[in-house]
Amino acid sequence: MTTKSHLTRTSPTASAHRPPAGRAAGPAAPVRAVRSVRSVRARAGAAVRAVDARTPADRDRAIDGLRALALLAVPTGHWLLGGFTRDADGALHNASPLTALGFLAPASWLLQMLGIFFLVGGHASVLSLRRTAARGGSTTRWLGGRIARLGRPVLGVTAVWATLIPLLHGLGVPTATLRTGATLVIQPLWFVGIYAVVTALTPYCAAAARRLGLWSAAPLLASVAAVDFLRYGPFAAAMPSWLSLLNLLPGWLFAYQLGVCWGERRLGRRAAWGLLLGGTALFATLLVFFHYPASMVGVPGQDRTNSHPPSLLVLALAAAQSGAAVLLRNKLAGLLRRPALWAPVVVINLSAMTILCWHQTAMFAAAVPASIVGAVPGLTTAPDAVAWIPERLAWMPVLAVLLVLIGAVTRRFEAPWAGVGRTLRTSAAVLAAAFAVFALGYA
C-alpha cells in the first residue's frame, strides 16, 4: 500500500533537475536574450509603422529624403575631412587630411551637398509661401516664422558654448583648445545667415521663376563667372581682396532659385538632363583647363578656395546635383514608401538644425578627453598619413552616438520658446554675443 509520505517523496531524478536554492526558475540566459531582442525589434517595428501611418498621403517624401541626405553629408564631411593636431602642451589645433592626402579631394564632391540643401529649400519654401497666401496669411509673418526656426538653435548653441568656455578653462582645458572648439562651432553657422537671406528673397525668386522659368537662374551663374574671371583671370593682380565676397549671395542663391523653379513646375525632366550634363561638363572643364582647386572645401595653405565664398565650380556641382535630384525624384519617393527607410528620414528632418549646430561639438567632446590621454589614433594624431583614414572611420560611430546624446538634450532649442521669459531670452542673446567675440578672436 502506498502511503502519503511515499507519494510526496521527491525522486532523485526530479531533485537533479530542480534549480539550486536562491536561483529563480525560468528560461536559460540565451533564451531570455533572444526574447529581449525580439521584444525590442517588435517595439521598434511598431514605432516605425506608426511614423509611416501618421505621414499625410500628400507628403513629398522625395524632398524630405533629399534634405535628410544633404543634412547627413554635413557631419560626415566635417568628421572625415577635418582633424586635429596636438601640440607639446596638449592643446588641440584644427587640421585637414586634404593638406597631405590630396587624393581625398573627390570625396568632397560627394560630401559637398549644400547645393541639394538649397535646392530642396527653395522648393519647400515656395510651396509653403503659396499655402500661406492661400490661407490669407502675410508674407511678413511667414518669413518671421522661418527666421525664428533658424535663429533659435543658433542662439542656443552659442549661448551654451559661452557658458562652457569659462567652465572648461577652469577645469584646465587650454585656451588654444577652446578657440579651436569655438572655430569648429562657428564654422557651419555662416550657412544659417546665408540661408536666412535667400529665404527672405523667396517672393522675388518665385516671381522670376514664373516669368522666366529656368532662365531666372542664368544671371546668378553669369555673375559668379564674371567675378571668377576678374579674381582669377589676367587682371587678378589688380583686383581688390574683397571682390570675391560678391559671389556670396548669387553663389548660394543659384541652387535655391533652381529649387523655386522646381516648386513652380518650371523644372522638368528635360531641363534636369540639361543641368546634369551641362553641370558635369562645366565642372570637368573648370578642373582640367582652368585649374580650379579639386577640393570643394577649403584646404589650409592653398591660396584659392571653392566654397568661401563659392566659386563657379560650386555652381557647376550644384547644377549637376540638382539635375540628378529631379531625375531621381520618383525612384526616391518609391523607396521611401518603405516604413523602415521613411522613419529615419522623418527623425533627421525633425532634428535638422540640431544636427547642423551640434555635430562639431560632438567631435570636440570626443577629442578633448583624448587630448588629455595623448596621441589617440584617428582623433588627436595629425591627419597626414593614409592610416589616419581607417582610424577616423573607426571613430565615426562614436561621434554619431555622441551627437545623438547631445541632440537629445539640445533639440528643445528647435521648438518655439513659448515658455521662455524676456530675461532668459536677453541673457541667451548676451551669451551668444560673448561667444561670437571669443570665437572671432576679439577676446
Short-list 97, 99, 102, CA closest to 83: 97
The pLDDT of residue 20 is 52
β-pair type (83-86, 92-95): antiparallel
Could you give phi then psi for residue 94, rounded to 5 degrees? -65, 145
Least confident of 87-96, 167-176, 239-248, 302-311: 302-311
Q: In this predicted model, what pLDDT tens digit does every residue of 150-159 receive, in sequence order? A: 999 999 999 9
Whether the Cβ atoms of residue 414 and residue 351 lie closer than 8 Å to each other: yes
CB neighbours (10 Å) of residue 34?
A: 12
Q: How much is the average pLDDT of 408-426?
A: 85
Q: How confident is the model at residue 18 (pLDDT cuts 50, 70, 90)?
A: low
The model's confidence at residue 132, banded by pLDDT at 50, 70 and 90, is very high
Q: Does residue 144 register a pLDDT over 50?
A: yes
Q: What is the pLDDT of residue 16?
A: 45
Q: Tell the residue number behind the cell numbers 555635430, with chain if given.
A: 359
- Model pLDDT for residues 334-365, shown as the tens digit of each residue: 999 999 999 999 999 999 999 999 999 999 99
Mean pLDDT of 228-256: 95
Q: How many CA atoms lie within 13 A of 199 on its CB side?
A: 26
d(CA 377, CA 391): 6
Q: Is the pLDDT of residue 43 over 90?
A: no
Spatial separation of the C-alpha atoms in residues 40 and 439, rounded to whole Å: 44
Helix (H, G, I), strand (E, B) or coil at 183: helix
**Across 102-110, average pLDDT:** 94
